[in-house]
């Protein structure tokens, strides 16, 4: 890959806690900003009538840890999630662009439901990064809560346990934030 395949990390993917790029993998603590490939996931909740929104949780996970995590998913769950996504999500690979991609445009609607963000109250965003750069060929995307609610029932109990365990072990949302009743209602690797 060349320099034009990357762009600066958008501020929306900064750590809520530090207001800076994530430095470490949530699971193995490896340093991310030199030469690691990693994924950032952030969950947001809006309050009707207000422009402010809460970050429910956010983290970065290195590719090795994310793959290890997926290996713990049951094959049945993975097959169902993949079937759902290939039915509902048309991932148009972006034409190669010299300039930076428009992050606001990438995150303007649910990748599954196509609902515009102004009509969504809870959602998660995902981005793929390498070192201190965003990987442009995998554009960031947004998944609304209503799409997640359709995906959760596809997941086996064992896989939900894996997700709940991950959430309980690694994510400590601010106690003032609204905790999801079921961690795996929120947490999903896709
Ligand atoms: Zn890791």
Question: Which regions of the chain does DSSP assign to beta strands (E)?
Answer: 6-8, 37-46, 53-62, 122-130, 133-135, 141-144
CA of 60 to the centre of ligand 1 (A): 9
pLDDT at residue 177, as a whole number: 45
pLDDT at residue 103, as a whole number: 95
CA of 82 to the centre of ligand 1 (A): 23
pLDDT at residue 172, as a whole number: 64
CA of 118 to the centre of ligand 1 (A): 34
How many angstroms separate the CA atoms of 73 and 88, rounded? 21
pLDDT at residue 53, as a whole number: 84
CA of 115 to the centre of ligand 1 (A): 33
| Average pLDDT score over the chain | 85
> Which stretch of 5-9, 20-24, 163-167 has the lowest confidence by average pLDDT?
163-167
CA of 93 to the centre of ligand 1 (A): 27
Averaged over 88-108, what is the pLDDT?
Answer: 81
CA of 172 to the centre of ligand 1 (A): 17
Examine the pLDDT at 94 and tell me if it is beyond 90: no
**What does pTM read for this prediction?**
0.87
Averaged over 46-74, what is the pLDDT?
Answer: 87
CA of 171 to the centre of ligand 1 (A): 14
What is residue 24's three-state secondary structure?
Answer: strand
Nearest C-alpha neighbor of 40 from the set 63, 18, 58: 58
Q: Where are the domains of the chain?
A: 3-180
Contact partners, residue 125, CB within 8 Å, separation at least 6: 12, 13, 41, 42, 44, 107, 140, 141, 142, 143
Q: Tell me: the pLDDT tens digits for 166-185?
A: 888 888 655 444 444 444 44
Question: Which regions of 49-160 does DSSP assign to beta strands (E)?
Answer: 53-62, 122-130, 133-135, 141-144
Q: Tell me: the pLDDT tens digits for 126-159?
A: 999 999 999 998 889 999 989 988 888 888 888 8
């Amino acid at each position: 890959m060349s320099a034009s395949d990357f762009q600066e990390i958008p501020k929306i993917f900064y750590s809520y806690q530090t207001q800076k790029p994530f430095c470490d993998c949530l699971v193995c603590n490896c340093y991310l900003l030199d030469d690691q490939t990693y994924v950032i996931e952030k969950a947001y909740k809006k309050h009707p009538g207000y422009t402010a929104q809460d970050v429910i949780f956010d983290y970065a996970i290195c590719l090795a840890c994310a793959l290890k995590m997926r290996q713990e998913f049951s094959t049945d769950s993975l097959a169902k999630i993949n079937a759902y996504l290939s039915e509902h999500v048309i991932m148009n690979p972006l034409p190669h662009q010299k300039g930076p991609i428009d992050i606001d445009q990438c995150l303007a609607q649910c990748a599954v439901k196509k609902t515009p963000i102004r009509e969504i109250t809870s959602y998660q965003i995902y981005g793929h990064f390498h070192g201190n750069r965003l990987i442009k060929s995998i554009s960031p995307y947004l998944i609304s809560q209503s799409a997640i609610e359709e995906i959760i029932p596809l997941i086996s109990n064992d896989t939900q346990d894996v997700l709940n365990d991950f959430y309980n072990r690694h994510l400590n949302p601010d106690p003032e934030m609204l905790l999801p009743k079921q961690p795996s209602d929120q947490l999903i690797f896709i």
